[in-house]
Copies of this chain bind each other. A is one copy, B any other.
Amino acid sequence: MSYSKFESHMKKIADVGFAMAVLSWDQETYMPEKGADFRAQQLSTLSGVYHKLFTEDELGKLLSDLSADASLNEQQKKNISLTLESYQKQKKFTTEFVELMSKTVSECFQAWQSAKEKNDFSVYQPKLEKLVELKKQECELLGYEGHPYNAQLNEYEKGTTTADIEKLFEEVRKELVPFVKKIKEAQQVDDALFYRDYPKDKQWDFGIELLKQMGFDFTSGRQDISSHPFTTSFNPYDVRVTTRVNEKDLSEMIWSCIHEGGHGLYEQGLPAGQYGLPCGEAVSLGIHESQSRLWENNVGRSMAYWKKNFNLAKKYFPEQLQQDTAEGFYKAMNKVEPSLIRTSADELTYHFHIMIRFEIEKALFENKLKVSDLPAYWNAKYKEYLGIDVPTDTKGVLQDIHWSHGSFGYFPTYSIGSFYAAQFFDQAKKEIPGLVQQIENGDLHSLLNWLRERIHRHGRFYTASELCEKITGEKLNFSHFMNYAREKYSAIYGLK
């Protein structure tokens, strides 16, 4: 009885949370420009409603009663214990703080948009300063052990600490940096084929076909256009992915479609019966990213995937790709080259972009770096890690949306996700007979079923670390990614 009361209360909270997600989705896809101010206010009000519902004493009472209820099954117990954690966390904030955070984020996001458009960091700076201060307060309210940045990391990748990330990037530095150096010294790959004229509507149709092939269910989801591709979900039967289409660069659409499609499949695979409950939610951002990266990199950037799909590409672009081969297409999409923009980076130097952001965020939360010094610091780091000069802030410190959303501690999950992806994909190859052959045939069903079974259906029942061990028999292990990278890129670049 009281469990079902708990359930129905949680579903109401979820209803409000997902309503916010609808408003945010609309904001990024269809909202007319002048709608922003009122939308910010509407989101702020809903964030307050959400917080009030989550901190009701009645819920606290229910949780405390149910924590002692031995008759619950394991899933129910997990839902109670995880919700209790969230409840205690929400209780640390006042509704005023939550509303202020929401409003500050909206203002900061608008300032960022305008700053990026005008290439003028000074438009963004005061709003970001305000937001960073608020985020530091949030760390204190949340509490942390060790580094204050741990409080932020914990929001996205529960249990992962600043020290864990440092250790991981230590390995990246030791293994990946010299490997990329070797690639740079080898014969370079030509990727000119991506930069021909690719009409918008053909690209769109091609992307939809790729999503369908992956198993994305269009009766339970859709794709739209946004300037920053993202995935959001209002329930497992209504999952929204977005993409962008650049007529001068076919690759942007392909990677955003497959990447967001991977996120979307995870959301569609969550158990609908657990709507509103922890066991109906994704484990962590790292695990979420493992799903997008596995599809994008381990599947989408493989030779097997394009064996058949290159003909599909040629069906849409017969003239543009007339002279090309599947092998040439495959090599072009795996060109390794240090570059300015994270989202269009190759899958190796990508992690250098993340390391830079991690170091910046850490320094911000250690009070070692001021917001006003961000552009100069950014540019210096790009010179150091990627060897390139940043020509404008728009292509530098202003390129990412995350900080304007108040998302600090988010970036490292991109690297974590890629490394999980390699580890999971190694396991999938072991467990699914003829997987590579299936991919060559354009048959992606077994892989999706394996992910559904191993990952999606569990929701948050296991932590990221538990899930990884359960699936692969070991904790996150960077060597899977490194071995994958070494094997693949040695072949492409003719390295020994």
Contacts and interface: CB of A to CB of B under 8 A. Distances in A.
A220 B237 CA distance: 31
Q: How large, as a class, is the contact surface on chain A?
A: 35 or more
Interface stretch (A37-45, A294-302, A420-428): A37-45
Interface in A269-308: 275
A26 interface: yes
Contacts of A26: 22, 26
A45 B22 CA distance: 14
Central interface residue in A12, A30, A34, A237, by most chain B CB within 10 Å = A34
Contact of A34 (B37, B44, B224, B237): B237
B224 A32 contact: no
A238 B22 contact: no
Contacts of A221: 32
Contacts of A41: 11, 15
Contact of A238 (B32, B217, B238): B32
Contacts of A46: 15-16, 19
B222 A45 contact: no
B33 A219 contact: yes
Interface string A178-222: 000000000000000000000000000000000000000111111
A265 to B, nearest CB: 15
B234 A38 contact: yes
A23 B19 contact: yes
A18 interface: yes
Interface string A140-153: 00000000000000
A46 B26 CA distance: 18
Given A15-B41, A16-B49, A41-B15, A34 B220 contact: yes
Contacts of A220: 32, 34-35
A34 to B, nearest CB: 4
Contacts of A15: 41-42, 44-46
Contacts of A35: 220, 234-235, 237-238
A31 interface: yes
Interface of A: 11-12, 15-16, 18-20, 22-23, 26, 30-35, 37-39, 41-42, 44-46, 48-49, 217-222, 224, 234-235, 237-238, 275
Given A12-B48, A49-B49, 14 more contacts: A15-B41, A15-B42, A15-B44, A18-B38, A19-B19, A19-B46, A22-B23, A32-B221, A32-B237, A34-B219, A34-B237, A35-B237, A38-B235, A42-B234
Q: Which 10 interchain pairs have the tightest Cβ spacing? A: A35-B238, A15-B45, A38-B235, A34-B237, A15-B42, A34-B220, A12-B45, A34-B219, A33-B219, A32-B222
13 contacts: A12-B48, A15-B42, A15-B44, A18-B42, A19-B20, A22-B23, A26-B26, A30-B222, A32-B221, A34-B219, A34-B237, A38-B238, A42-B234
